[in-house]
Amino acid sequence: MAQRVARAIAERAVLLVEAGTGTGKSLAYLAPAVLAGETVLVSTATKTLQEQLYNQTVPLLSRALGRPVRAALLKGRTNYLCLQRLGEAQRSPGLLPEDREWLRRLAGWSETTATGDRAELHDLPDEAPIWGRVTARADECLGQSCPAAEGCFVLAARRQAQRADVVIVNHALFFADLALRDAGVRLLPEADVAILDEAHKVEDVASQHFGASVSDARVRDLARLGRGALKAGGAREERADEVVDALLNRSETFFGLMGRVPDRALSSDSLPAGAEEAARALGAALRVLGSEAHGLTGKVPPSSDEEDPVVRGMLEATSARADLMRAELEGMLAFRDATEVVWVERGRRAVFLRSAPVEVGSILAEKLFGVVEAVVLTSATLTTGGTFAHIKRRLGVDWDCEELVVPSPFDYARQTLLYLPRDVPPPQHDAFAPVAAAQVERLVRLAGGGAFVLFTSFRQLDDVYRELQGRLPFPVLRHGDRPRQVLLDAFRRDGNAVLFATSSFWEGVDVVGDALRLVVIMRLPFARPNEPLTEARMAAVKRAGGSDFMDYQVPLAIIALKQGFGRLIRHRDDRGIVAILDTRLVTRRYGEVFLRSLPPALRVYHLEALEHQWGLTRRARLGREAAGGVAPRPEPDAP
Ligand code: SF4
């Protein structure tokens, strides 16, 4: 793999590599990247992998090469503490006691941290609202006029990236950079070589960044900034309040209407009555705020007072944000672009109007493959049914590019039992939850805990969790109850815990060793066909003459299933069971395509046979640990 990556860099080619778990994929691309003698961008989907590359793989490589490696870790700006916003938050009135306590801790941390990266704050919950107040999105940053620019963590990270040979970023930042290039904005250093790991996520991340999103929460944020900016910039109090209150009222009307539309793709015909008028009113209110702020910008007199650049920065940010939001809102509701899908999403704290391109292929052809000379796309899960055809179709790679499959060195037939029961009702059946819960109970008891139980929705997770409450004699952890990292640490520490989790635990989670010995997959991870973007993509596949199910849904679900399956074996000494309770795998014809795509584990169809095999595996393990021997190969079970 290292040689092929080196060749792709030298020959300015596009290379697709599927490298199974345990192949040493990261080293195989980082080594040629470092030796290339030019700036290389390495991008990952998850921050976990990004940090692992920077904190573990780069030092390892540096030791192996016997010389320092000039690498930099660069994340999206909202990962860094903003000193200016921290100061503003500390000065703001009406703080809740817990926010005041957090601000005190953050201020202390800001004086000791070298990076300002929130990843250092292990006990800050993922969703903690306080973080949003002390970090600056692009439109909140005062840029050149910021009085805190000298100690700014974002600018420091960018300076380090400019000096590095290998810049490790995540896909969100990578695609934000590509999307902003046309507007003359650059977030990343110039590079002719990009290596995208976890490349199975590229389509989704690219869709997000080449689309748009406006929400009532974003309007409220702007209103907060705008009110302060107008008043500090010299507007009459009443005028500032009038402009901002009008904006908030109109936002409430518009998003109130949009919050009631069905969860489907929108068109001009499906907009609720009054929505167009409400959108026009909201656009007009944004225009007024933007022009008031713009008008005041020129009137802030230059002086030595350090407040002045801050006020000017706030006014400029207000004006720019209002203009951008209006353009996005108007653009989405014009429904001019037939290649784009527009929909409404209801979050816990906001209603979003979003848009995304249905196909990213032509965009990537222009903005990625047409700009970056050498691109390596790699992942442990890129092929489906043994070919790269699906990922190539989705990413618009319609030429014969270089391809490579590096199989995992693990002996799955010896290390993994794949349990495929036939006596569980189909997952859409009412009886599924109680029967599946009973299976989970027996499986967890068999393995003695140490289990991930993976769901495709919180609703199903809650159903099964309720069924099993008090029935499992092991510590039970539930996704959503505590931050993800805290749950994982508790799981690893305990050794016998059972974790109930949904999609974000299907991938990017590494539990090496005996703490994880059972992975239960409740149902095949098909994308919801009525989810607007999925629906639009399926329709596009059909229009192009393909099958929306076999050519889109099935390959996508195979990649997700391979990821879930891949949680179990992370080391050559790991042993365990993967149980897939969705019987469609054995009753439907397409099930065979899924099974062909999975690692060659020993299939077991009956619980009794599984109990027998698992007993052998555990005894062999104990014997092997005692005598240093090799585990016997398990015996097959008849379907
Ligand atoms: S330059 Fe921007 S991100 Fe940096 S401290 Fe100032 S406002 Fe915050």
| 213: Cβ contacts below 8 Å, ≥ 6 apart | 328, 352, 353, 354, 355
**Ligand 1 atom nearest to CA at 143:** 1
For the stretch 490-501, pLDDT in tens is: 999 999 999 999
Strands 340-346 and 351-357: antiparallel
Residue 475's CB is within 10 A of a number of other CB atoms, namely 15
Of the candidates 464, 418, 436, the one whose C-alpha atom is nearest the C-alpha of residue 582 is: 436
**Residue 191 Cα, ligand 1 centroid: separation in angstroms?**
25
Q: pLDDT grade, residue 127 (50/70/90)?
A: confident
| Pocket residue to mutate for ligand 1, from 77, 79, 85, 187, most atoms within 8 A of Cβ | 85
**Residue 435 Cα, ligand 1 centroid: separation in angstroms?**
54
- Predicted local distance difference test score (pLDDT) of residue 147: 85
Three-state DSSP at 178 gives: helix
Phi then psi for residue 482, to 5 deg, are -140, 165
For the stretch 1-16, pLDDT in tens is: 999 999 999 999 999 9
- Cα 80 to chain centroid distance, Å, stands at 18
- Predicted local distance difference test score (pLDDT) of residue 304: 47
Of the candidates 562, 512, 406, the one whose C-alpha atom is nearest the C-alpha of residue 24 is: 406
- In this predicted structure, the answer to whether residue 633 has a pLDDT above a threshold of 60 is no
C-alpha to C-alpha distances, 489 to 453, 484, 486, 618, nearest whole angstrom? 17, 9, 5, 25
**Residue 143 Cα, ligand 1 centroid: separation in angstroms?**
6
Structure tokens given for 296: 């005041």
**Residue 85 Cα, ligand 1 centroid: separation in angstroms?**
8
Three-state DSSP at 501 gives: strand
Residue 412 CB-density burial (10 A; 0-12 exposed, 13-18 middle, 19+ buried): buried
Which DSSP category does 633 fall into? P
For the stretch 366-394, pLDDT in tens is: 999 999 999 999 999 999 988 999 999 99
C-alpha to C-alpha distances, 55 to 48, 166, 168, 213, 571, nearest whole angstrom? 10, 13, 11, 34, 20
Structure tokens given for 399: 């030429």
d(CA 213, CA 163): 33
Portion of the chain with pLDDT greater than 70, in percent? 96
- In this predicted structure, the answer to whether residue 258 has a pLDDT above a threshold of 70 is yes
- In this predicted structure, the answer to whether residue 630 has a pLDDT above a threshold of 70 is no
**Residue 92 Cα, ligand 1 centroid: separation in angstroms?**
18
For the stretch 305-352, pLDDT in tens is: 556 677 888 888 899 899 999 999 999 999 887 789 999 999 878 999
- In this predicted structure, the answer to whether residue 173 has a pLDDT above a threshold of 50 is yes
Regarding the beta carbon of 5 and ligand 1, being less than 6 Å apart is answered no
- Cα 248 to chain centroid distance, Å, stands at 31
Portion of the chain with pLDDT greater than 90, in percent? 77
**Cα diameter, the chain:** 85
- Predicted local distance difference test score (pLDDT) of residue 480: 84
Report the mean per-residue pLDDT for the chain.
91
Regarding the beta carbon of 149 and ligand 1, being less than 6 Å apart is answered yes
For the stretch 53-106, pLDDT in tens is: 999 999 999 999 999 999 999 999 999 999 999 998 898 877 888 889 999 999
- Predicted local distance difference test score (pLDDT) of residue 268: 87
